[in-house]
């Protein structure tokens, strides 16, 4: 149970970080509390998806965790706010890709 809660916390932080970076297009000097709150909503939705998935699938692989984090983040981002650049889905796809990368790196280099 504790491992699942840790994973949900990691998923939130990966999704939140990717969303914040995408919204400000990498320029952290323009990051506001509003951006952080919007990213938190994206992170919460993504964490709910991970919570459900961890109860359906026991002992998921690092690829599954990274893939699900990226996909869930992209869909959550679409639901939470409109794109700040490109087409309607460009920012969501960039956010999902960033969350996938962060999730994979965390899973790849975590202590066994």
Q: Write the pLDDT tens digit of every residue in 63-81.
A: 999 999 999 999 999 999 8
- The answer, yes or no, to whether residue 111 has pLDDT greater than 70, is no
What ranges do the domains of the chain cover? 2-109
**What pLDDT, on a 0 to 100 scale, did the predictor assign at position 13?**
95
Average pLDDT across the chain, whole number: 90
pLDDT tens string 1-11: 788 888 899 99
* Whether the Cβ atoms of residue 53 and residue 79 lie closer than 8 Å to each other: no
Quick one: tokens of 83? Answer: 């794109």
**Beta strands, E only, the chain:** none
In the chain, helix, strand, coil percent, each to 5? 80, 0, 20
Q: Is 2 exposed, middle or buried (0-12, 13-18, 19+ CB in 10 A)?
A: exposed
pLDDT tens string 83-106: 878 888 999 999 999 999 999 998
Confidence of residue 20 (pLDDT cuts 50, 70, 90): very high
Q: What angle do CA 76, 21, 51 make, to 5 degrees?
A: 35
Report pTM.
0.89
Quick one: tokens of 56? Answer: 């359906």
């Amino acid at each position: 149970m504790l491992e699942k809660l840790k994973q949900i916390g990691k998923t939130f932080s990966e999704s939140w970080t990717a969303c914040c970076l995408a919204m400000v297009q990498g320029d952290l000097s323009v990051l506001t509390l509003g951006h952080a709150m919007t990213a938190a909503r994206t992170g919460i939705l993504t964490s709910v998806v991970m919570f459900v998935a961890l109860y359906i699938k026991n002992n998921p692989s690092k690829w599954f965790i990274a893939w699900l984090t990226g996909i869930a983040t992209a869909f959550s981002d679409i639901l939470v706010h409109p794109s700040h650049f490109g087409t309607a889905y460009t920012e969501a796809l960039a956010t999902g890709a960033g969350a996938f990368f962060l999730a994979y790196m965390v899973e790849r280099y975590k202590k066994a």
